[in-house]
């Protein structure tokens, strides 16, 4: 009888003890779990307000993980957490600075026993500095880092991004840090402590802003859809023909970006505007930028007669960079690219409280180590027995007693 070889995911065998909450940290560990790491999510009844297992955040960002309930207000729970940390490859948290140390399970304590452990601390402001103890969430990080200001519209600098952009960026940085530290450990045999400032991650996204300041001694101003450092036009969003769905009329828009003369000439052909190709004021990128308000107005009049999807495909076919401004319905129901890649798929096991749930797939394709496993987020303490047995060899009766005594909850 021929045995079929089991295909392992890239991070099979890596153990991660996950104390993170909300989005940035859980997004990091979700990526690692999708790639096969055994991620053990630590939760408790006392932290349920922002980590409710049936809430949208927990359900979305904690798939493919196992969950253990440890009430860290109790010494027995802290002892078990320390034992888990001694078995872990990676311990990660995004608390304010020093929480794990106060529990007696920080890097200095655990690394004395587990010299290969990697600790990732991804607090809002990082360790040290006058703001290191600040409590931060995406809107405050965006504001402090300059993202709110620089991504706004002139005259409306208070708009901001509207979603937790930097949480995702911080999570990506943390995932890269974990993989880098695991590789470094392969050579040195030693773990290490990693400090990630979510604030500095956000500031790091504004590189050209610093160049502009140092070179021209001027701060970058909000510019809407205009490129901040290149005089390029047209470069914006233009209204198309409105659509009606379920009796509701919705505005539809298309983004068009002409970064060179070839793009511009093709757009002129599409619009049947041969006069523009002969207009000396529009002959160069600089001239088109100077006349951008006039150009935008004329393009907007033209696009208003078209369905955005049809127009996008026609423009793309002529070599003009264009994209429909898609909403959630477009992405989930109508986007042929996402449908082809099966980007949204149903998680096989229904959630015991939310019923049928869905996963957006890991947007990375491994040819030899496929990551096509998607398991639902687990309820509080649902995996207590399996985790404590697998990692620490604790028997079922001891786990049940800990649950009855209140420190496994």
Residue with tokens 């104390």: 19
For residues 205-225, give the mean pLDDT. Answer: 78
Domain with CATH 3.40.50.10540 in the chain: 15-205+342-405
pLDDT tens-digit readout, 119-130:
999 999 999 899
CB 173 within 8 A of CB 204: no
Burial 54-77 (b: 16+ CB within 10 A, else e): eeebbbbbbbbbbbbbbbbebeeb
Residue with tokens 């036009």: 233
Q: Considering the entire predicted model, what is its pTM? A: 0.91
Q: How confident is the model at residue 375 (pLDDT cuts 50, 70, 90)?
A: very high
CB 155 within 8 A of CB 223: no
| pLDDT higher than threshold 70 for residue 3 | no
Q: How confident is the model at residue 2 (pLDDT cuts 50, 70, 90)?
A: low
| pLDDT higher than threshold 70 for residue 12 | yes
Architecture of domain 235-338: 2-Layer Sandwich (3.30)
Give the model's pLDDT for residue 6. 59
Give the model's pLDDT for residue 135. 86
For residues 240-268, give the mean pLDDT. Answer: 92
Is 167 one of the annotated active-site residues of the chain? Answer: yes
Percent pLDDT > 90 in the chain is 72
| pLDDT higher than threshold 60 for residue 5 | no
Domain with CATH 3.30.1540.10 in the chain: 235-338
Helix (H) or strand (E) holding 311: helix 308-317
| pLDDT higher than threshold 60 for residue 292 | yes
For residues 233-244, give the mean pLDDT. Answer: 94
* Domain at 15-205+342-405, CATH homologous superfamily: Crotonobetainyl-coa:carnitine coa-transferase; domain 1 (3.40.50.10540)
Task: Choose the catalytic residue: 34, 93, 167, 296.
Answer: 167
Give the model's pLDDT for residue 50. 65
For residues 25-29, give the mean pLDDT. Answer: 96
For residues 208-222, give the mean pLDDT. Answer: 77
Q: How far apart are CA 147 and CA 88, in angstroms?
A: 36
For residues 18-36, give the mean pLDDT. Answer: 95
Name which residue leads in pLDDT, 226 or 364. Answer: 364
């Amino acid at each position: 009888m021929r045995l079929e070889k089991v295909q392992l995911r890239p991070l099979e065998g890596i153990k991660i003890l996950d104390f993170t909450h909300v989005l940035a940290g859980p997004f990091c560990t979700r990526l690692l779990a999708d790639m096969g790491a055994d991620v053990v999510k630590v939760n408790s009844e006392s932290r349920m307000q922002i980590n409710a297992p049936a809430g949208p955040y927990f359900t979305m960002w904690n798939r493919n993980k196992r969950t253990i309930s440890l009430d860290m207000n109790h010494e027995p729970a802290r002892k078990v957490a320390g034992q888990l940390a001694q078995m872990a490859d990676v311990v990660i948290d995004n608390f304010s600075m020093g929480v794990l140390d106060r529990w007696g399970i920080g890097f200095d304590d655990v690394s004395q026993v587990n010299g290969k452990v990697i600790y990732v601390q991804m607090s809002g402001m990082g360790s040290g500095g006058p703001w290191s103890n600040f409590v931060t969430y995406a809107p405050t990080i965006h504001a402090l880092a300059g993202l709110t200001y620089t991504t706004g519209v002139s005259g409306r600098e208070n708009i901001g991004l509207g979603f937790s952009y930097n949480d995702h960026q911080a999570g990506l940085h943390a995932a890269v840090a974990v993989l880098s530290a695991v590789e470094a450990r392969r050579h040195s045999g030693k773990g290490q402590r990693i400090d990630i400032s979510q604030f500095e991650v956000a500031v790091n996204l504004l590189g050209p802003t610093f160049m502009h300041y140092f070179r021209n001694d001027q701060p970058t101003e909000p510019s809407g859809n205009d490129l901040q450092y290149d005089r390029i036009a047209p470069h914006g969003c233009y209204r198309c023909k409105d659509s009606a769905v379920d009796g509701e009329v919705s505005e539809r828009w298309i983004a068009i970006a002409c970064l060179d003369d070839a793009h511009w000439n093709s757009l002129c052909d599409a619009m049947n505007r041969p006069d523009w190709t002969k207009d000396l004021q529009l002959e160069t990128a600089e001239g088109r930028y100077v006349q951008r308000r006039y150009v935008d107005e004329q393009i907007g009049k033209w696009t208003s007669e078209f369905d955005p999807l049809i127009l996008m495909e026609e423009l793309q076919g002529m070599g003009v960079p264009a994209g429909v401004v898609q909403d959630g319905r477009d992405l989930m129901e109508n986007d042929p690219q996402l449908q082809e890649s099966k980007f949204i798929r149903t998680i096989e096991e229904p959630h015991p409280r939310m019923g049928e749930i869905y996963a957006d797939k890991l947007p990375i394709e491994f040819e030899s180590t496929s990551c096509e496993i998607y398991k639902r987020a687990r309820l509080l303490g649902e995996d207590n027995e399996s985790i404590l047995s697998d990692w620490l060899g604790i028997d079922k009766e001891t786990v049940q007693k800990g649950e009855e005594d209140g420190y496994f909850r």
